[in-house]
Structure 1
C-alpha cells in the first residue's frame, strides 16, 4: 500500500516516553499517545507519498520499489498529491487539538523530510543523521502529548539506535544493488561496505554503553539494568540478520518477520512496564 502501514511500527517510539515516565496507567495520557501515534504515522505516510512522486523514475528501475503504487502506475501522481495533502492537513489539525507543541513537532518533521527528499538524502553522513533525527522527533512527540520531561539519556539512546538502523539500511542497499547503486541512490557512491561496518561498530558500542549507563543511573536500586540483556541480544540479532542473512534493509520488516527480534521487543517492553510498576 502507498501508506506503507508496516513502516508505522517506527512510530511505536511515541509510546516510549509515556512508558518510561510511568504514564501507562493513566487512561487520558495513553489515549493522547495513541492519537499521537496515528497522527505521526499519517504525517509519515504523506512524506512517503512526496518521496515516491519525486523518485518515481528511479523507483521504476528498483527491483522492490518498482512495485509501489505510484511507480507501478496503479496510483496516479495527481491522486497521490491530493491524498498526501489530505493526510497532512488531517493529521496536523488533530495534532494541534492535542497540543500545539505536538503540532510544531509534526511541522518540523515534515519540513525536515521535505528537505531530505529534495536534497539532504544526497549528502553523505547527513542523510543517515536526518533519519536518526526523525526517530528522536517521534520520541519527543510522546513526551509532548503527555507533558513529561525528556532526559538527555533518552535522546542519546534513541539517536544512536536510529543511526544503527540507518547505517545498516545503507549497507543492505549497497549489497543488494551492487553496480547499479549510484543510479538508484546517488549518495551510495560515497559509502562502502568497509566504511559502513566501521561506523556500525562504533554506533553499536555507543548504543549499548549509553543504555547501560542510563539504566545504572535510573534509580537507587537500578532495576532497569535487568533490561540490558534484551537490548544487547536485540542488537546482536539484528547484526546477525545484516551480516549473515543479507537483511537490515527494512527495520520494520525485521521486527515483524523475525520472531527473535519481535519476542525480544515484547519482553523488553513488558520488563520495563513491570519494573516501573512494581519495583521503582
Structure 2
C-alpha cells in the first residue's frame, strides 16, 4: 500500500477528538532562560544577605556609602554563586539523573543543554571579579575570585574529600560574611570572624548530618543514588562537629559581647543582653540539626516562626547597642 493510499484510508479526526496543540515558539524561546535561572538556585540567594554582616556588626549598616554598596555586593555574590551552581550541575548531570530529587534539576532533566550551562557559568565566573575590581576595589575582587576558585575546586574534586568539603563550604559562608569589610573599608574584628566561622561550620555540619541520616534511610529503603562521601562520615562524627561548632560560636559571641566593656550609667547593657537571643537561636536551630531536618538551612531560617521571633529580638537588642540608647 502506498503512502498516499494509507493517508486516504485514515479517517480524519471527528469533532469530539482533541488534537495536540502546536508547540508555542514563545514558550520554547523562554525555556532556556527560565531553565538557567532555575539552575542558578534563586531560593539559595537568601544566603547572600550575609554580605551585610560586617557593616551591621560594626554599626555602619545605615551609612550612605553602605546603603549604596550593599545591593551591589549582593548582586556580585549572587552572580558568583550562580556561576558555581551552573558549572556544578553541568558537571554532575549524569549522576543527578540517577538521584531521586536532583533528577528534576533543569540540566539533568534536559531542559538546559550541558554546554549552555557551562558557557553561562564560565561567563559569570569571568565577569564577577572584573566587575568587582571596577565597581568596588581590588580587595573585593580578590575575595570573590578566591570564593570562585575554592567553589570550582570543590565541584571538581574537593567535595569528595573528607573534612575538606566541610571546610570549603564553611569558607564560602565566611567569605560572604566578611566581604562587606574590605568593600567598605571596615576593620574586621577577630571575634566577628571567629563567631561567623564557627556559626557557618555549625550550619554546614548540621546540613551534612541531616543528609547523612537521609542517606541511611534511603539505603534501607533502596531509594536512588546518593553521594558516596556521605556514607564515609559517621553520624557520631558529624554530630560531634556541629555540637563543637555550636559551642565555639556561642563562646566567641559571649566573649566578644563581654569584652565590649561597660555602658554609661542608666543605660542597659544591650550588647551583653543580646547574648540571650543569640544562644536561644543556636539552641533552636540545634533542634532541627538533632532531628536531621536541617538539610536545607534556608528553609529552616525562613519558615520557623520561633526562630524568626528570636532573630528579631536579637536584632532589636543589637541595634540598641549600636545606637548607644
The TM-score bracket by the shorter chain reads: over 0.9
Is the CA contact 1:23–1:30 (under 8 Å) kept in the aligned structure 2? Answer: no
Superposed CA offset, 1:38-94 (max 9, x none): 101110111111111122222222222222111121111122122223333443333
Shift of 1:183: 4.9
Shift of 1:171: 0.9
Partner residue, 2:6: none
Q: Distance in 2 between matches of 1:182 and 1:47?
A: 25
Partner residue, 2:239: 197
Shift of 1:196: 1.4
Q: Paired residue for 1:211, among 233, 242, 253?
A: 253
Is the CA contact 1:70–1:77 (under 8 Å) kept in the aligned structure 2? Answer: yes
1:171-182 superposed matches below 5 A: 171-178=209-216, 179=219
Q: Distance in 1 between matches of 2:79 and 2:47?
A: 12
Q: Distance in 2 between matches of 1:147 and 1:157?
A: 20
CA RMSD of aligned residues (A): 1.9
Cα pair distance change 1:207/1:130, threshold 3 Å: same
Q: Secondary structure at the match of 1:71?
A: coil
Q: Distance in 2 between matches of 1:76 and 1:23?
A: 44
State TM-score, norm by structure 1: 0.92
State TM-score, norm by structure 2: 0.80
Cα pair distance change 1:49/1:7, threshold 3 Å: same
Superposed CA offset, 1:179-232 (max 9, x none): 279952222122111221122222221111111111111233353121112221
1:212-251 superposed matches below 5 A: 212-221=254-263, 223-244=270-291, 246-251=292-297
Aligned residues: 278
1:73-112 superposed matches below 5 A: 73-96=110-133, 97-112=135-150
Cα pair distance change 1:5/1:263, threshold 3 Å: farther
Is the CA contact 1:173–1:181 (under 8 Å) kept in the aligned structure 2? Answer: no
Q: Distance in 1 between matches of 2:89 and 2:309?
A: 32
2:160 maps to 1:122: yes
Structure with the largest fraction of helix: 1
* Higher CA-based Rg: 2
Structure 2: which 5+ runs fail to align? 1-37, 264-268
Shift of 1:248: 0.7
Cα pair distance change 1:30/1:219, threshold 3 Å: farther
After superposing on structure 2, the runs of 4+ consecutive aligned residues of structure 1 that deviate more than 4 Å are 180-183
- Which piece of structure 1 moves more, 154-163 or 89-98? 89-98
Q: Distance in 2 between matches of 1:275 and 1:34?
A: 25
Superposed CA offset, 1:120-179 (max 9, x none): 111111111111111111122110111011011111111101111111111111111222
2:182 maps to 1:144: yes
Structure of higher RCO (CA pairs closer than 8 Å, 6+ residues apart): 1
Partner residue, 1:11: 48
Partner residue, 1:187: 229
